[in-house]
Structure 1
Amino acid sequence: MDKPSLQDKDFLTVIETAELFGLSRRKMFRLTSQSGLPFMAKYGTRKLIIKDEFVKYLNKSGMKGELKNGEPRTKTRFKA
């Protein structure tokens, strides 16, 4: 039996949420450390994201730009 795709799942982990929406993992973990978020569900010690509620949260608060991944770091060398 194949695993369901992230688009088909109703509940996502923090990492899956970041991956599906193209968001920063670090910022997602920081966001989910807050209490009282409408899209959070706890299952034991696991934090799960209710996908439909998270989409509503992103659209309502305009948070997507703030949680978006930054530009990758690259090493630049000084030219002599």
Structure 2
Amino acid sequence: MDDRVRSGDLRRAPELEAKLLRMEAEQETILTSMGEELDTACRSLARNGEDKLQAISQKPGLVKDPHHWLAESKFLGLN
């Protein structure tokens, strides 16, 4: 009985190895795609943040007090 089980396992090994390789390739494709999407989202958020910071810093009469800056940014809806 043990010999038949081992023989069956040996016959299935190449099939399982091929399935594992396909799954690993699929996983790599998915993770690469997710990474690209995250990069795009982060770049977009960074650009938006820079635009908002420039809008605040170019405002006439800007006070260098961080509390004032925070209040202004919240008032302007920039956060």
TM range (shorter): under 0.3
- Rg larger in 1 or in 2? 2
Question: Which protein is richer in strand relative to its size?
Answer: 1
TM-score (norm 1): 0.20
